[in-house]
Amino acid sequence: MLALAIIALSGWCVALTVLCLSLVRQMAVIRLAAMNGGAPTFDPALDGPAVGSKVPNAVLRQLSTTAEFQRTGLATVVFMSASCGPCRDVAEQVVRRKSTSPDTVFLVAGRPRVAEDLINLLRSADRPVISDPDAHEIVQAMDIHGSPFAFRIEHERIEAKAFLKSADDLETVATNR
């Protein structure tokens, strides 16, 4: 009987230890996000194609529908998810500034009813907005997993990329600084 009690107590101790470790890990993630201004803590070096690599043809096909890309071969592409809080924050900053690069193209992924508000907000910046299913096709081809994310295309090559914490980050990508 005593052996069964010890085994049961040991099982509870293991379960509590796992629970405590999970809580400590989650607190570290929250603290890291807070130190990062609440923005995602993804590594842009691991997301999307490498800087200097050729842009997938599927992406070039989609971008060729925008007049500025047809004319110059340049684009600053911004991916935002319709359900992403930091995406909405960056979109509001961009619209308030009214100074996005003329070659900026916004991609909005998400169900149409959820994405509608973000799409309308971004359209007020007077730049092209590509929504699903086309936005999803581009995001898949570029192997992007987090948002808000921007990449700079110059003559079919990735020249810069970054996760966006603010409109300033978008300007940095657009000017390739």
Q: Clarify whether residues 4 and 90 are in a common domain.
A: no
The 10s digit of each residue's pLDDT in 117-128 is 999 999 988 889
Q: Which residues contact 20 (CB under 8 A, 6 or more apart)?
A: none
Tell whether 64 and 135 lie within a shared domain: yes
**Residue linked to tokens 């300033």:** 168
**Does residue 82 sit in the same domain as residue 169?**
yes
For position 164, which CATH number holds?
A: 3.40.30.10
Above 50 in pLDDT, residue 134?
yes
pLDDT digits (tens, 9 = 90+) for 29-54: 555 555 445 544 556 667 788 899 99
**DSSP annotation of 155:** T
Q: Give the largest Cα separation in the chain, rounded.
A: 82
The number of folded domains in the chain is 2
Q: Is residue 47 part of a domain?
A: no
Range of the domain at 97: 57-175
Whether the Cβ atoms of residue 139 and residue 79 lie closer than 8 Å to each other: yes
